[in-house]
Amino acid sequence: MRYMLLHKTNDNLEAGNPPDPEILERADAVLEEMRQAGVLVLGEGLMPSSRGARVTFPVPGQPRVIDGPFAETKELVAGVSIIRVDSKEEAVQWALRFAEADPYTPIDILEIAG
């Protein structure tokens, strides 16, 4: 099974400031553990939402494009990891390793369809 770990952002990262070097080093170490264990499919950080856009559909079939930044920081993602593991419980265990690296960043764990 494949799972996507969505690492949430914060006001500091959304302001374009670099992550704390110690936290980044610890998170990179977790990614390396995942590589060594053979479970990491992809691990990437994302730029602040000011560099992105959002497509909405206020009227069905009529898309609206909104340039970032976006107001609800707590709903935004700062990074994504895709892992291939045997169970949701194993995915949770890997997410907990990231929590040890950065105890301030929530992580959503979602199973990938297909």
DSSP for 47-113, please give it.
--GGG-EEEEEEETTEEEEEESP-S-GGG-EEEEEEEE-S-HHHHHHHHHHHHHH-TT--EEEEEPP
State which residues form the domain around 108: 2-112
CA distance 112 to 114: 7
List pLDDT tens digits, range 11-21. Answer: 889 999 998 99
Given a cut of 90, is residue 22 above it in pLDDT?
yes
User: Using an 8 Å Cβ cutoff, are 4 and 110 in contact?
Assistant: yes
pLDDT in tens, 97-114: 999 999 888 999 999 998
pLDDT at 74: 79
Residue 114's pLDDT is: 85
Cα distance between residue 46 and residue 33, in whole Å: 21
The residue whose two tokens read 């952002």 is 9
Q: Is the pTM of this model over 0.85?
A: yes
* pLDDT in the model for residue 58: 93
For the chain, the domain total comes to: 1
CATH label of the domain that carries residue 72: 3.30.70.1060
pLDDT top residue among 41 and 20: 41
